[in-house]
Chains A and B, each alone.
Chain A
Amino acid sequence: MDFEVSEFQTELADGIRRLCEGAFPLEEIRRTESTERVVDRAGWARLGEAGVFHLCLAEEAGGVGLGLAEAALVYEELGRALVPGPLVASHLAAGLVDGADDGSVVVGLVERPVPGAVGTSSLPVVVEHLADLDVLLVLSDAGIERLEPASLDATHLPRPMDPLTPVWSLPVLPAGEPVAGPDVAGWWRRDGAVLTAALQVGMAQWACDLAVEYAKGRVQFGRPIGGFQAVKHLCADMAVRAEVARCAVQAAAVTVDQADVGDADVAAAGAKLLADEAAVTNGRSCIQVHGGMGFTWEVPAHLAYKRARVLATQFGGDDALAESLADALAAD
């Protein structure tokens, strides 16, 4: 047993971090705020070239043949850089949708609402990134369907909660062309939860780093505010939360890769639950440390908080995840 990140894995993650610093600097990303399109095609292709989307695809299928553990490390870096776009959907679709693997085709994913599900009446279907998509996939227990984004009669919502996640609404999702069955849907839910959780961990860490940097430089009462316990302890809790969630996410990814070390579905649900909480809470704390400036668009603290809220709705919300973990406890 050796649960330490290997040298190779560290190098892989470092490479993606450098790529993001070059291809997705925050000031560039922010140019597309509140527009209909946030996916930079050239940047997306560079991610494809770097293997981000086909990392887990078998070598004979043109992929890199690595595990979800490596993908989770890569996605943590994408989260840390706040890279916008349907990153997880394109990874899952590699091998199923031509061009998803090399980043030449941008694939989105939306969950098909279950008719009559508690608390969903009156609510429209909301789809992210529609204008950027070449293909929209629909996930349900029955499997995966394919829709042509242009064919949808969707309404663009001009003021999205996250300025870097444009959204559309439509009353109902039409039936699409079935492209995969329930087995694939099952592992997409599991792997999608782990990779989304990895993005959340990256953002939780980013929010912590941003808050710490600000707390060191901002002076009030003649001292950097990070010297006051009230602020210092907020920062310490952010660091702890990110690290605990990181371990959960990496353990879940390894549990997917290695048979017999645990229940991968349970590990994925737990990881997503904690990573959502870490990203949301750290985003909120980061705003708090920034005080009044945190309430403005002048500092990017709000971006992580809002994106965390977006990702927390994907591949299982808190209540659904907690219920699935409770089911696992009751089955023991």
Chain B
Amino acid sequence: MDLRYSDAEQAFRNDLRAWLEATLPGLPTKPSPDDWTGRRAYDTHWQRLLFDAGYAGVDWPVEGGGRGSTAVEELIFKEELERAHAPYVGVNFVGLLHAGPTVIAEGTPEQRARFLPPILRGDEVWCQGFSEPNAGSDLASMRTRAVRDGDDYVISGQKIWTSHAEVADYCELLVRTGPEDSRHRGISWLILPMDSPGVDIRPLHTIAGSTEFAELFLDEVRVPVANRVGDENDGWRVTMVTLSFERGTAFVGDLLEAIELLTTSVALARRTGAWADPGVRRQAGHLKAELDALYALTKRNVSQAARTGIPGVGGTYFKLAYSETRHKLGEFSLALLDRAGLAAHDLEGIDGEGLLPAGTMVEDWLRGISLTIAAGTSQIQRNIVGERILGLPKEPQAATGRKG
């Protein structure tokens, strides 16, 4: 067990830090949260800067056009970006973290050549069409149907939680190509051009009031068979393969953000006088212990991935523990604001010391709720830990192989 960084790792960090210091001051002003055209322009411009500096796809394999960094370098990359308050991956999330790695692993040479470079350069934006109104935790029960017609699939159905749909060029779409009750054995993975006729987008407001969510309605949309990644009816496996790109660093930025939020909360508590309350101090101390431990767990996960190339079970442990800690942190900061937290934006304090960070804190508290739901609810995660790691008996699979 060694927590010291090697000379090479330190050099990677120093170079990146210098580049960030030189580059970030030149960024344009951040667009407002609901200005999706502006946000796309901002996020893709940032991606282009990363590309030109050789930092695009830092965690992508070299054969996919990425930097092929080690898992430890990925950790450093995310640490430094967060430390410097560099832009978040934003609208490039699905392309860089999910669709791109899937095309690298399972795509044809033509698909790789066509779709990977524009993701790395920030030229094309992707969204995800996996969940459906009736296929959430039970994703394999999805019903969006794709029927072969010559060289095309004709697709009808509905998807949900399609983040950034309104500014996306492509959608990684899971469709039912097998019989209705074929579950995970009858799913295919398609590349859907978002400007295809029959694609309709309806934005959904998130609990935090933002509009990155959308529903996707597909009415006899034609997609070329050539846009299928992997074999027909093999889309479930194709999707799972991508998960192996997860090397334990997915939440690093988020975790560092939480550590910063704790610091901001402590500063607020000292400003309001709440810090005199031992209960408040102990809650803060407890949160620090938890966040530090989660950082240690991240380093454990990254180290395992660096050695074996395979993510261990630590990722599931991390998500469960982190989502709970994040929720507690949200509640902690909200309590410090007292009734000033009724405003979901920064507001002037009466002490002449400037703005109170109510905007950040309220938004953070609300966004934190998604952590126990997205990418597998905490309840599903506990089933996974119980069944796959601890070997406890499975849930009844009443729907398997039958109509559910």
Let me know if B385 and A239 touch, CB within 8 A: yes
A195 beta carbon closer than 8 Å to chain B:
no
CB distance from A10 to the nearest CB of B (A): 11
- Cα distance A323–B297 in the bound complex, in angstroms: 23
Let me know if B2 and A3 touch, CB within 8 A: yes
Let me know if A232 and B391 touch, CB within 8 A: no
Let me know if B1 and A69 touch, CB within 8 A: yes
B339 beta carbon closer than 8 Å to chain A:
no
CB distance from B351 to the nearest CB of A (A): 18
Out of B3, B72, B302, B395, name the residue touching A255 (CB < 8 Å): B3
Mask: chain B, 355-388; 1 = CB below 8 Å from A; 0 = not: 0000000000000000000000001011101110
List chain B residues, Cβ under 8 A from A247: 293, 296-297, 299-300
Let me know if A329 and B292 touch, CB within 8 A: no
Give the residue name and chain of the A residue nearest to B284 (CB). Answer: A326
Give the residue name and chain of the B residue nearest to A263 (CB). Answer: B292
- Cα distance A325–B275 in the bound complex, in angstroms: 13
Give the residue name and chain of the A residue nearest to B262 (CB). Answer: A329
Let me know if A4 and B296 touch, CB within 8 A: no
Which 6 A/B pairs are nearest by Cβ-Cβ distance?
A325-B285, A322-B285, A227-B393, A270-B289, A251-B296, A248-B293
- Cα distance A239–B292 in the bound complex, in angstroms: 18
Let me know if B393 and A1 touch, CB within 8 A: no
Out of B270, B285, B294, B392, name the residue touching A232 (CB < 8 Å): B392
Interchain residue pairs with CB less than 8 A apart (21): A1-B75, A3-B1, A3-B300, A4-B300, A5-B1, A212-B391, A227-B395, A232-B386, A233-B379, A235-B386, A235-B392, A243-B314, A244-B321, A248-B296, A250-B296, A251-B299, A253-B1, A269-B289, A270-B289, A325-B285, A326-B266
List chain A residues, Cβ under 8 A from B9: 1
Mask: chain B, 175-209; 1 = CB below 8 Å from A; 0 = not: 00000000000000000000000000000000000
Mask: chain A, 220-257; 1 = CB below 8 Å from B; 0 = not: 00011011010011011101110111011011011100
Main secondary structure on chain A at its contact with chain B? helix
List residues of B (228-285) whose CB comes within 8 Å of A's CBs: 262-263, 266, 270, 275, 278, 281-285
Out of B3, B4, B266, B294, name the residue touching A330 (CB < 8 Å): B266
With A232-B383, A326-B284 in contact, is A216–B296 under 8 Å at CB? no
List chain A residues, Cβ under 8 A from B75: 1
Let me know if B289 and A227 touch, CB within 8 A: no
CB distance from A7 to the nearest CB of B (A): 11
Give the residue name and chain of the B residue nearest to A255 (CB). Answer: B3
**Most A C-beta atoms less than 10 A away, residue of B9, B72, B299, B314:** B299
How many of chain B's residues have a CB under 8 angstroms from any CB in A? 55
- Cα distance A118–B1 in the bound complex, in angstroms: 40
Chain A residues packing against B (C-beta within 8 Å): 1-6, 9, 69, 212, 215-216, 223-224, 226-227, 229, 232-233, 235-237, 239-241, 243-245, 247-248, 250-251, 253-255, 258, 260-262, 266-267, 269-271, 273-274, 318-319, 321-326, 328-330, 332
With A9-B1, A239-B390, A243-B297 in contact, is A2–B385 under 8 Å at CB? no
List chain B residues, Cβ under 8 A from A236: 320, 381-383, 385-386, 389-390
With A229-B379, A236-B386, A244-B321 in contact, is A329–B300 under 8 Å at CB? no
- Cα distance A270–B295 in the bound complex, in angstroms: 12
Segment from B95-103, B160-168, B303-311 that makes contact with A: B303-311
**Most A C-beta atoms less than 10 A away, residue of B281, B304, B381:** B281
Let me know if A330 and B392 touch, CB within 8 A: no
Out of B3, B263, B302, B392, name the residue touching A251 (CB < 8 Å): B3
List chain B residues, Cβ under 8 A from A216: 391-393
Let me know if B289 and A226 touch, CB within 8 A: no
- Cα distance A227–B300 in the bound complex, in angstroms: 30
**Most B C-beta atoms less than 10 A away, residue of A258, A260, A323, A326:** A326
Known contacts A3-B1, A9-B1, A224-B393; 7 further A-B pairs (Cβ under 8 A): A1-B6, A226-B392, A232-B387, A235-B385, A251-B293, A319-B278, A321-B285
List chain A residues, Cβ under 8 A from B2: 1-3, 254, 258
**Most B C-beta atoms less than 10 A away, residue of A4, A215, A273:** A4
- Cα distance A283–B3 in the bound complex, in angstroms: 31
Out of B4, B283, B304, name the residue touching A261 (CB < 8 Å): B4
With A3-B299, A212-B391, A240-B320 in contact, is A274–B284 under 8 Å at CB? no
B85 beta carbon closer than 8 Å to chain A:
no
CB distance from B75 to the nearest CB of A (A): 8
Let me know if A1 and B5 touch, CB within 8 A: yes
List chain A residues, Cβ under 8 A from B299: 1, 3, 247, 251
- Cα distance A323–B285 in the bound complex, in angstroms: 6
CB distance from A141 to the nearest CB of B (A): 20
Out of A223, A237, A251, A271, name the residue touching B382 (CB < 8 Å): A237
- Cα distance A270–B284 in the bound complex, in angstroms: 12
**Most A C-beta atoms less than 10 A away, residue of B285, B391, B395:** B285
CB distance from A12 to the nearest CB of B (A): 12
CB distance from A120 to the nearest CB of B (A): 16
- Cα distance A25–B283 in the bound complex, in angstroms: 39
Let me know if A4 and B304 touch, CB within 8 A: yes
Mask: chain B, 1-36; 1 = CB below 8 Å from A; 0 = not: 111111001000000000000000000000000000
- Cα distance A203–B172 in the bound complex, in angstroms: 46
- Cα distance A236–B317 in the bound complex, in angstroms: 9
List chain B residues, Cβ under 8 A from A2: 1-2, 72, 303, 306-307
Give the residue name and chain of the A residue nearest to B384 (CB). Answer: A236
B403 beta carbon closer than 8 Å to chain A:
no
Let me know if B288 and A329 touch, CB within 8 A: yes
List chain A residues, Cβ under 8 A from B402: none
B394 beta carbon closer than 8 Å to chain A:
yes
Give the residue name and chain of the A residue nearest to B266 (CB). Answer: A329
Let me know if B393 and A4 touch, CB within 8 A: no
Let me know if A233 and B386 touch, CB within 8 A: yes
CB distance from A16 to the nearest CB of B (A): 17
CB distance from B83 to the nearest CB of A (A): 14
Let me know if B392 and A240 touch, CB within 8 A: no
List chain A residues, Cβ under 8 A from B290: 244, 274
Let me know if B293 and A239 touch, CB within 8 A: no
List chain A residues, Cβ under 8 A from B5: 1
List chain B residues, Cβ under 8 A from A253: 1
List chain B residues, Cβ under 8 A from A255: 3
CB distance from A241 to the nearest CB of B (A): 8
